[in-house]
Amino acid sequence: MKMFDVVASLQDFPQQQVVKGQVGTVVEELDNDHVLVEFADVNGVAYAIATIPMDQLMKLKHAPA
């Protein structure tokens, strides 16, 4: 995953106020296994910025494969 990828969480992260299925944007690549993801509401107001393991995220696609 890379900067600005749109992702969805594959599990709950209660400490970060993120639940399975919430959609966010990768804002920083931290290492080979973790990224920083910003989760925002429909108005664009961020409610969580969390370090998430990449294997717990699904990259979302907006174009045909």
**Residue 34: other Cβ atoms inside 10 A:** 18
Q: Residue-wise pLDDT tens for the chain (65 aa)?
A: 899 999 999 999 999 999 999 999 999 999 999 999 999 998 999 999 999 999 999 999 988 87
pTM of the model: 0.90
The predicted structure's pLDDT at residue 62: 85
**Considering the domain 5-59 in this protein, what is its CATH number?**
2.30.30
Extract the tokens encoding 40: 């925002």
Average pLDDT, the chain: 95
* Cα separation, 28 vs 2, whole angstroms: 8
